[in-house]
A and B are shown apart, each in its own frame.
Chain A
Amino acid sequence: MRYADEFREGVIAQGLARAIAAEASSERRYRFMEFCGGHTHVISRHGLEDMLPTTVRMIHGPGCPVCVLPTSRIDMAISLVDRPDVILCVYGDLMRAPGSQGRSLSRAKAMGADIRMVYSTLDAIQIAERAPDREVVFFAIGFETTTPPTAVMIRHAEKKQLRNFSVFCNHVLTPSAMQSILGSPDVDNVGSVEIDGLVGPGHVSIIIGTKAYEFVDGFGKPVVITGFEPLDMMQAILMLVRQVNEGRSEVENQYSRAVTREGNLRAQQEISDMFEVRDLFEWRGLGFIPHSGLKLKQGYAQFDAEMRFALHEQRVAHNPACECGAILRGVKRPADCKLFGCVCTPETPIGSCMVSSEGACSAHWSYGRFRDHSRRQAP
């Protein structure tokens, strides 16, 4: 597979692993958070942890859109599909995301709700065109990567004068969340963990550019914007080790084949034309973060499902035994949670980190849990 195999070459990986081992000091610890769920997935799927020295620890961050979506937003979507006239279009991962009281969209579908899994935003437009007597709602979710496609979709709906189409907007902003983590506030008493550097998002940065992270200067932590192939990740870790060793805290761009300092200006324009920043948005595990979510501007209110169906967010308590919050903040590891692998598995997720394959718990369960046992067996 061209343009992928080149970035998965084991021999080059071994070379990078040797360089990391040689340059990482045995006198100190390197705690790097990969913000993005895509990176968590890459680390787990290719077994990267086995190739790092024990002094380098990867902390899985909150950058999985399904994982950080609070229960209340899932509940709002479920209340939407209770209406018989609504067709809800979702990306597949969302189907199993847990709402309150054991509910999920998957269960709602089994009980007769009309929920369609789509692969692209344009599928939702097609569904709306074919069902003019139904209300078609797109469950928009994701960071800056998936926001421009939502904007394009709304443009299409506008052009086609679709009167039966709207968007349930849950788009969130990466820099705000990153700032919240670097500020290390102790949310819900789960504690906080010291982070020595960040593996910055790749796809998000294609849109917003490396410039968007320059605020981290103030936190004195290095950031390396990184691609999604395993060799990208190994190189990024080496770059972070070097920055830490040299006492630098810069925004570096490992993913230079795709990311520029300015980003995709047209996509940025489209986002700012159509969306505005919410005062407050709830993130699972991070709590309410100011200026971290997007909603449609007043001029696009007809496409805003929250306005159209008068949806209201009701705060619900998460399962108190679920450690997703602490795991998303890197304070705990998946295996530290009492529910992990017992009642909470990818088949029956209790916490959102177990839902998407990019979630820390799901990735650990599916790819890495053998290490828990080898650790225990070790003298």
Chain B
Amino acid sequence: MRAKSYQSKLDVRNGFVELRHGSGGRAMSQLVYSLFHEAFGNDWLARGNDQSAFGVQTGRMVMTTDSYVVSPRFFPGGNIGFLAVNGTINDVVAMAGARPLYLSASFIIEEGYRLSDLKTIAGSMGEAARTAGVNIITGDTKVVERGKADGLFISTTGIGVLPDGLDLSVDNARIGDRVLVSGSLGDDGITIMSKRQNLPFQSGLVSDTAPLHDLVAVMVTAGGSGIRVMRDPTRGGLAATLNEIANQSGLGFRLREEIIPVKPTVAAACELLGLDPLHVANEGKLVAIVAPETADAVLAAMKAHALGCDAADIGCAVEDDHQFVQMLTRFGGERIVEWLSGDQLPRIC
């Protein structure tokens, strides 16, 4: 990186983001170079362009985009920066089975945001990208007046390349396919909720944010084209993911509650707040719809991986014109697993 001459060093420790940091002048340049470039450090950014050129591989590529507005921005096990990188990587890999290559990152920052927090978050993004072997090669910074945004919003876009022969799509599920989840559900959502100012309980949980590309690679090796759909059940939880697959694939699902992995802490917090763990958001987890003949092999491969050690085969796809996701309860009755409606509102009594 070429040396830049600025009148004074950016006071990261005590400073705050001001409108001038987004106005296109010297202050913005200083913020971008000394904070973001420093954290993301790669040859593309070092050239200082407003875009980056990269070689295109033969075959099929995938692209996805996501915005991150989580509050609070720091929570046990991570921060918004980790989410912004891992979440988009997981969309690229988990939804399509692709190998992630490049990311872009766009920041909308509220005037008055602490530079030290921004540096920590940028550092986490750099760390997450390096862990996943992905480069953040372009970005944008906007600063808005106080009150016009809530601290910091991040948008990331990811590009990846698909292995030959793999066609994962949400409309690919077939009757008889098995439903696999990679681990316990609801950890991330409950962690975030427990840290919200007005929820006075401590869970001891940490967010499960993690890049899934390595787990997916192992699964693809074990299951190949027997893997029909993969999704990361983020907002709306497992319920939303399975309902979406049911609608798109024109079938229903039958699940068994007693096999669905939910940590006791998460179950207890949900009980307290009147929430359904199947509606609670996850990070670093995936749902796979897999052909019945390869399901056991894929499940074994998942269990052998650190991010899939609690994986479980929780049910199967069935013929159903109404496309219900139905579940045999632990108690012995049947019920629908419905989409989350509205926001997650705790019950009154």
Contact = CB atoms under 8 A, between A and B. Distances in A.
Interface string A15-47: 001000000000000000000001001001111
A129 interface: no
Given A4-B271, A119-B198, A345-B341, A47 B348 contact: no
B78 to A, nearest CB: 24
Interface string A44-55: 111111110000
A201 B109 CA distance: 50
Given A118-B198, A345-B341, 13 more contacts: A8-B331, A14-B332, A46-B329, A46-B330, A48-B331, A50-B332, A50-B334, A51-B331, A93-B346, A117-B345, A119-B199, A366-B336, A369-B336
B322 A373 contact: yes
17 contacts: A13-B331, A38-B349, A45-B329, A47-B331, A49-B333, A51-B331, A51-B333, A91-B346, A92-B345, A93-B346, A106-B342, A119-B273, A123-B198, A142-B349, A146-B349, A356-B348, A358-B347
B326 interface: yes
Given A1-B267, A45-B329, A345-B341, A65 B349 contact: yes
Nearest to B196: A119
Interface in A222-269: 230
Given A1-B264, A48-B331, A123-B198, A356 B347 contact: yes
A106 to B, nearest CB: 8
Interface residues of A, number: 51
A10 interface: yes
B333 A47 contact: yes
B334 A370 contact: yes
Nearest to A63: B349
Interface string B185-220: 000000000000011100000000000000000000
A300 interface: no
Q: Tell me whether chain B's interface is mostly helix, strand or loop, or mixed.
A: loop
Given A46-B333, A47-B335, A347-B341, A370 B324 contact: yes
Nearest to B341: A346
B9 to A, nearest CB: 37
Contacts of B330: 8, 10, 46
Interface string B305-349: 000000000000000001010101111111110100111011111
A116 to B, nearest CB: 9
Given A65-B348, A93-B347, A146-B348, A45 B335 contact: yes
A1 B274 contact: no
A117 B273 CA distance: 13
Contacts of B342: 95-96, 106, 346-347
Contacts of A47: 328-329, 331-335
Among A47, A123, A141, A146, the one with the most B-chain Cβ atoms within 10 Å of its Cβ is A47
Nearest to A366: B338
> 9 closest Cβ contacts across the A-B interface?
A47-B333, A92-B345, A346-B341, A50-B333, A46-B331, A367-B335, A366-B338, A47-B334, A47-B335
Contacts of B335: 44-47, 367-368
Nearest to A203: B349
A49 B335 CA distance: 10
A51 B271 contact: no
B149 interface: no
Contacts of B198: 118-119, 123
Contacts of B297: none
B345 A95 contact: yes
Contacts of A48: 331, 333
A13 B330 CA distance: 10
Among B268, B324, B332, the one with the most A-chain Cβ atoms within 10 Å of its Cβ is B332
Interface string B253-290: 00000100000100110010110000000000000000
A357 interface: yes
